């Protein structure tokens, strides 16, 4: 899988941004600038939603990085429903003002991929992890640890995008997907990791450390 460049604005948003700007411009030219103001505001909102800034990768080699920007809404020990093992789940909730580009939390090979259609309830709720539309990646690290990274659609989100395929190698911080308009990402980790976050913490994709593999 090729590395995705960082053009500041995510490629998934280009059609939406172009459409919003075109509508605002047409109303500005053919109606009036006053009528166009709400449409320019919408265009600015769409532009900020699809921003995709580059991020610095922490030098700590055993770090497990945040896969998304947002707020920590769950840190709990439970059963990983994909690999059927005891795990620690850390969930990051993204609101409409967060960057929605999703990035790999670890270096490793994508061993499997599962897509599950589902509902679109509020992604801030715990039941969203198993009831909502979702896409899961099983990533096997070089030292044999299993990490499951799950994109979960939300109340407004209606499209999960994932470019990673089985057999791909992902580098820490490498972009692998995008979720449009509010959602969450769940990460299932081995139970012996050191947790670095608490519920309510704000995290940023790639630059924030969720946990550490014990050496």
Rounded Cα gap, residues 40 and 22, in angstroms: 10
Is 183 one of the catalytic residues?
Answer: yes
Residues 6 or more apart in contact with residue 22 via CB below 8 angstroms = none
By DSSP bridging, strand 134-140 and strand 101-103 are unpaired
User: Residue 123 in contact with residue 155, Cβ under 8 Å?
Assistant: yes
Maximal C-alpha separation, the chain:
65
User: Residue 155 in contact with residue 122, Cβ under 8 Å?
Assistant: yes
- The catalytically annotated residue of 91, 101, 129, 183 is 183
Please count the CA atoms within 13 angstroms of the CA of 73 that sit on its side-chain side: 21
Rounded Cα gap, residues 87 and 84, in angstroms: 9
DSSP E strands in the chain: the ranges are: 8-9, 51-52, 63-65, 70-80, 85-94, 101-103, 108-116, 134-140, 146-153, 160-162, 169-170, 175-179, 183-189, 194-195, 202-203, 209-212
Active site residues: 183
């Amino acid at each position: 899988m090729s590395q995705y460049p960082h053009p500041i604005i995510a490629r998934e948003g280009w059609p939406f941004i172009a459409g919003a700007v075109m509508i605002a411009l047409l109303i500005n030219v053919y109606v009036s600038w006053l009528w166009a103001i709400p449409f320019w505001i919408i265009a600015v909102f769409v532009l900020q939603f699809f921003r995709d800034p580059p991020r610095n990768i922490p030098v700590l080699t055993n770090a497990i990085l945040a896969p998304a920007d947002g707020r920590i809404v769950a840190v709990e020990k439970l059963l990983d429903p994909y690999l059927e093992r005891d795990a620690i789940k850390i969930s990051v909730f993204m609101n409409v003002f967060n960057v929605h580009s999703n990035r790999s939390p670890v270096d490793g090979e994508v061993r499997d991929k599962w897509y599950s259609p589902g509902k679109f309830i509020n992604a801030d709720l715990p039941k969203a992890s198993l009831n909502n539309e979702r896409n899961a990646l099983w990533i096997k690290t070089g030292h044999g640890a299993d990490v499951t990274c799950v994109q979960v659609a939300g109340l407004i989100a209606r499209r999960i995008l994932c470019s990673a395929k089985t057999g791909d190698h992902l580098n820490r911080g490498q972009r692998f997907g995008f979720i449009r308009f509010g959602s969450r990402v769940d990460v299932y980790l081995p139970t012996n990791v050191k947790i670095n976050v608490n519920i309510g913490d704000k995290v940023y994709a790639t630059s924030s450390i969720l946990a550490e593999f014990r050496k």
